[in-house]
Amino acid sequence: MTKEEKYDLVVALTEQMKEYGNFYITDTADLTVAKVNDIRRQCFENEITMQVAKNSLIKKAMEAAGGDFSPIYDVLKGSSSILFSKSATAPAKLIKKLRKKGDKPVLKAAYIDQAVFVGDNQLDTLINLKSKEQLIGEVIGLLQSPAKNVVSALQSGGNILAGVVKTLQERG
């Protein structure tokens, strides 16, 4: 790989890191070409972009992208593949699915909306992450719940409430 090709790859990785905001670094060493091609096909089907690169180039791309990637630097050893996705959980679900057939790919680290997850033991946590939209929806639902209860109580007890108000007026 020439110096210019390496530079172009770092620029491309940096742009993908900024564009997607989520990426997973996995270990796919010792997999056959057929298995790697199968992983690439499944990535494509799940709208995940897979990129294999040298660890030093991945590190340079992270440094160029800005942000705190320092916890990830320690896992950049051996063979590394990067999975980019708009969905924070799609790569984790794919890795889990692929692991039913074998012991690879192994999750080295994940970067999800400025949060860093290091180690293969984080896979289940990543699968269960909720998106920003899901969390906002839950918060709105929780905020609406008390108001809906009050409105419902007022509507269902309309006649009773009118009687209570009338009695209070007559006393005054």
- Cis link prior to 105 (omega < 30° from 0)? yes
- Domain 3-127 adopts which CATH fold? Alpha-Beta Plaits (3.30.70)
The DSSP code for 122 is G
- The confidence score (pLDDT) of residue 150 equals 65
Using an 8 Å Cβ cutoff, are 78 and 30 in contact?
A: no
Mean pLDDT of the region 106-113: 91
* pTM of the full structure: 0.75
pLDDT more than 90, % of the chain: 39
C-alpha span between 22 and 135 (Å, rounded): 17
Whether the pLDDT of residue 149 is over 80: the answer is: no
Mean pLDDT of the region 120-124: 88
At residue 83 the predicted structure's pLDDT band, cuts being 50, 70 and 90, is very high
Locate tokens 């980019």: which residue?
84
C-alpha span between 172 and 52 (Å, rounded): 81
C-alpha span between 57 and 98 (Å, rounded): 26
Domain boundaries, the chain: 3-127, 132-171
